[in-house]
Chain A
Amino acid sequence: MSNIDKATVAKIARLARIKTEEDKLEPLAGELNNILGWVEQLSEVNTDNIEPMASVVDAKLRWRTDEVTDGAKANSVLKNAPKPEYGFFAVPKVIE
């Protein structure tokens, strides 16, 4: 089923926003094909009428009152930011 070529690796790397040098694409294609080829044995398993697992515990997700329980910590939130400016996260310009 899977046949990952260089172009596909480049596409995946782009989707994952991981800079990948041109000379790494071919070896990565080989590695990913190996791994995905191996996982393809799952196609042997009959999963008709099986619901995909959503949670390993039977517990129902809890409800809570919709109220503010935390906040007013802008300084803490920004403390580890590589380049905070004026109380905000700063990023390169995204609009002209």
Chain B
Amino acid sequence: MTDLTKLKIAEARDMLAKGELTSRELTEAHIGAVDAMKSLNAYIVTTPDIALAQADAADAQIKAGNQKAMTGIPIGIKDLFATKGIHTQACSKILDGFKPEYESTVTQNLWDDGAVMLGKLNMDEFAMGSSNETSFYGPVKNPWRATGSNSDFVPGGSSGGSVASVAGFAAMGATASDTGGSIRQPAAFTGTFGIKPTYGRCSRYGMVAFASSLDQAGTITRDVRDGAIMLESISGFDPKDSTSVDIAVPNFEAALTGDIRGMKIGIPREYRLDGMPAEIEELWQKGIAWMKDAGAEIVDISLPHTKYALPTYYIVAPAEASSNLARYDGVKYGHRNIGDGGGLDDMYYATRGEGFGDEVKRRIMIGTYVLSAGYYDAYYLKAQKVRQLIADDFKQAFGQVDAILTPTAPSAAFAFGEKSDDPLAMYLNDVFTVPASLAGLPGSSVPAGLSADGLPLGLQVLGKAWDEETVLKVSGVIEQAAAFTAQPQEWWR
């Protein structure tokens, strides 16, 4: 029998429908794969009993003729999504022991569509990081290794567990979340397909908040079609999130026509960075050639405020984080340290000093500073104005083009510790992903080639607000043209 963990969601769905496969078989194979990749630290909690019960329920549903989009498909859930009665800590010590009494809307949508939960996935603490090195549960190893090397690389972040589980064949898909690039950058580092929809497309109810004006759920899968299927499942209006938008969810899979003839693809000149590795530029040129070959028209565009996106982000996101994370006080849930002195403030200081990791503390402090009296206008208000200019750049560009094509990240995956001592070097990883996050636009990362060292590289596709269909369609054309069939060696088995 073929290795069931190598199947794509769409393939498994069709086999399940024809009775050629049961969800129990599929799920058992994946539970085995999850156990076999423990050394990668992608899963921090596994839920095999829940998975098997859901698999049996899925098989019964299929027998009864009630197969839905994700029925019987085993997936992993980023630790950021509240799962009722199951460990949910956003990989922070401060949420120690937290088992929510409610379910996030994104995961509820998946269960309603019949999906099977394998466990909770590792991530940077509160999604603050680009390498998964800030997790309280330790880093995740990238399933990919450089050609001829036994060294480990970071999987990217913050959705490091999500991408490692999918790239390493221990989940058919995974939920993820994007605040500044936490879906697209790790997807690029692991040869997976990541998509972040328009802000407001997915409910944020039950997602642990980092920066509320930026946070948006999305998916990691092994190809574009699977991404379309899973994204459609998690999308939709939810009255429980005031920023969820009541707009119909299209059939995303139907958008994958492969036909982009006559489409205008923008190439932003500001994304050509000084000192960018030649192989990133070459990959971009390849992508441009693929677009032309498919009959699209290439348009040079300008997004003049691009260089200000990262500094804007590093004011807005920490400001919102400092406010959101004020809720962790040792009173309502999670970790408590009573501290010395016996007072309420002593408890706050001790609980928060001990419960948050260094990067989270750093961002809370930056946020506290830029929001403090006398600095609010100079930093926060200024950043929100520049953010408007960045969004206006995109609005203008999308008056001329249907989609924008760029590299996803300025490099391939890097080694552990390489950037963790230098916050600014780490932040620069998100230089290509942050602008669209600030503008709330949909974006994807498609595996498009390998670096000279044999590590995956991705191309980013950005679309207009609410036009995930074009993002998916263009992504599908890149996928076809790139014919990316490389897979990581399963050295962990």
Contacts and interface: CB of A to CB of B under 8 A. Distances in A.
Give the interface centre of A16, A77, A79, A91 by most chain B CB atoms within 10 Å: A16
A57 B383 CA distance: 17
A57 B361 contact: no
Interface string A13-37: 1011111100000001001101110
B384 A52 contact: yes
Given A12-B372, A57-B440, A32 B365 contact: yes
B-side binding surface: helix, strand, loop or mixed?
A: helix
A52 B385 CA distance: 4
B332 A42 contact: no
A69 to B, nearest CB: 9
A39 B391 CA distance: 18
Counting chain A residues whose Cβ lies within 8 A of the other chain, the interface size class is: 35 or more
A81 B332 contact: yes
A61 B307 CA distance: 31
A24 B388 CA distance: 36
B378 A56 contact: no
A93 B352 CA distance: 19
Interface in B184-202: 198-200
B99 A32 contact: no
A59 B314 contact: no
B423 A34 contact: yes
A19 B354 contact: yes
Contacts of B333: 80-82
A92 B344 contact: yes
Contact of B369 (A4, A38, A45, A56): A4
Interface string A70-94: 0001001101111100000101111
Contacts of A16: 322, 352, 364-365, 368
Contact of B379 (A18, A31, A39): A39
A19 B388 contact: no
Nearest to A50: B385
Contact of B314 (A9, A39, A91): A39
B176 to A, nearest CB: 19
A18 B368 CA distance: 11
Nearest to B99: A80
Nearest to B97: A80
Interface of A: 1, 4, 8-9, 12-13, 15-20, 28, 31-32, 34-36, 38-43, 45, 47, 50-57, 59, 61-62, 64, 73, 76-77, 79-83, 89, 91-94
Q: Which 5 A-B pairs have the closest CB atoms?
A: A19-B353, A56-B440, A52-B384, A80-B333, A82-B336
